[in-house]
Amino acid sequence: MENDQVLAELHRLRQAEETREQSRGQTRRRVTIGLLLAVLALSLLWSTGRMDPLLSGVGLNKNDCIKNGFGATFCGDDAEAYQQQVGQIATGLGAATGSVSEEQASAQANVRASIPAIETYAADNGGSGYAGMSIAALQAIDRALTDIVITSATASSYCVQNTVGTQTYSYQQGGATGVNGVITPGAC
């Protein structure tokens, strides 16, 4: 009887081991199938270019990518669309401002740079506003102002201009004539 009990115990142990082996085999198959599906999904995402922004940092992107000044990454069709939008904005700005030469840009910048000093002068001039304003008075506020010409200065209005090469730009504040509050081509 003892042999029968030992044989029964061995048979039970063998069945338990076979059950464990089957369970391990099923687990391996499930893990293998899961890994294969993950690789397939990643391959599909890579082939469509959806992973390009993530992979562009390590050079594994499928399509060409660009990065803008804010750190955003655009790849493939998105990169082309982004470049077109930037081009349209730049074209729109060019159309709005016109083509600006270096002389024009410099004259405009010089006039623009004088405005804070002029407004500071008026604020510090008591109730007299812009009256008595001179280059020397403005240079006491901002020493960099050297090429500005003050064509008029009253208590409530002024006009300044700057010429670089052949380009002259002016700015008028107050006054009855001209465009107020805008830097415009031409003298006051």
**Per-residue pLDDT at 2 exceeds 60:** yes
Whether the predicted pLDDT of 94 surpasses 70 = no
Q: Is the pLDDT of residue 20 over 50?
A: yes
CA dihedral 62, 66, 72, 77 (to 10 degrees): -60
Contact status, residue 46 vs residue 30, Cβ threshold 8 Å: no
| Cα 162 from chain centroid (whole Å) | 33
Q: What mean pLDDT is reported for the chain?
A: 81
**Burial class (CB within 10 angstroms; exposed 0-12, middle 13-18, buried 19+) of 22:** exposed
| Confidence (pTM) | 0.47
d(CA 8, CA 10) in angstroms, rounded, equals 5
- Asked if the model's pLDDT at residue 168 lies above 90, the reply is yes
pLDDT tier, 93 (very low <50, low <70, confident <90, very high otherwise): very low
